[in-house]
Amino acid sequence: MFRPPTNDNKTTSLNAIITNIAAMNHSLYNPFKSFDFRNDKCFLSGDDTSPLAVRVLPDWLLNMANLTGDEQIKLLDESIRNYKSLVVPVSATVYNEAILPLEQKIATAFEQGYKGVSAVPEIELFQWIGKLMYSFLYIEMQGAIRLKQLSGDGMNMSQGLMHKFGNLHLMLQSIFTKVEFEGFTPWSIVVVPLENATTGFSFRDEINTLIFSLKFKDFGIVACLQDNGTNKRYHQQLLDFIKDRPLTDQQFEELAARFFYSAYLFNRLPEYNVIEANGVAYIDPMPLRGIQHKPIFDEWQHKTYGQVLENFWKPYGLTLFEIIKDPKAPLSFFEQPLLPDAG
């Protein structure tokens, strides 16, 4: 069931919320102001001119992955849907002039495998992955409102999540309008080569922390969409060690598990100032540390990490007991584990 947490593991003060509300006071569409997730408006632009119903997982991806579209996915409201039934409302103009060209670029890159995907500008990977995740979020919101798990004004959803999702939506409007990130990137994106050049398509996401992983053919992607690059820096030592080395399937899942866990430990709610001038929205980040003295990440706990890893390694039959047999040195498929220091 979709039950947004009241504290979403982020440190948020009343002043921070007020500041963020002020930062979101701009002319770009913000569905979280009116909590409007109906099918009669474009989910990105808010345009209500006869939107198209566009599949979340595009046909090119289903075809490339040899999927029929009848494969099933379980949503947070416990409903079971097939891929073909997952659609969002999109303005014809936004779709034809912005989304379709983006899909074509990503399709070409996926066709080429790691060589093509690693050459895609990160902003375009962010836009494509963000659009995919926000599409799922949009559908989840509709289901939660329909089942009265969320009120029509979103009042039983945490302020932290509302602002985080609102910030993601704001940034995704860069797909069809001019948005400039002032001296920063709001994401951590890692693209790695895989040993198995025929890896089947699969993906994971976690909506509350806005993290995503995907593997396909000879490449894997891990993306944190609202962390201002901090998760990538947190794991930089390991990333430097594995740079350009093809990963086994177990190694990629281990890498993804580390990012999923650190995204959970990330205890800040990134906030931004937005200034519009000459048709461009300039987004400037506020310092993550703010007035707080505590570290940006909560303490890493090997046992909790082991539980995350057990879930990622399920296909290989590895149990939590085997993973944390040595409580101070969890099992790793990397020659040098290079794990963060545990608390």
pLDDT tens for 239-251 read: 999 999 999 999 9
Distance of CA 322 to the CA centre of its chain: 30
Say if residue 20's pLDDT is above 50.
Answer: no
Which residues contact residue 107 at a Cβ distance below 8 angstroms, ignoring those fewer than 6 apart? 58, 60, 61, 64
DSSP-assigned letter for residue 85: G
| Whole-angstrom distance, CA of residue 94 vs CA of residue 259 | 32
- What would the pLDDT profile of 76-126 be if each residue is shown by its tens digit? 878 899 999 999 999 999 999 999 999 999 999 999 999 999 999 999 999
User: Quick one: which H or E segment has residue 212?
Assistant: strand 211-217
- Write the CA distances from 186 to 107, 112, 213, 229, 292, integer angstroms: 24, 27, 17, 6, 20
Q: Specify the pLDDT at position 343.
A: 81
pLDDT band per the 50, 70, 90 thresholds, residue 33: confident
Output DSSP code: residue 316. Answer: G
Residue 69 CB partners (closer than 8 Å, separation 6+): 55, 57, 62, 82, 83, 84
Burial tier of 281 (Cβ tally within 10 Å: 0-12, 13-18, 19+): buried
What amino acid occupies position 53? A
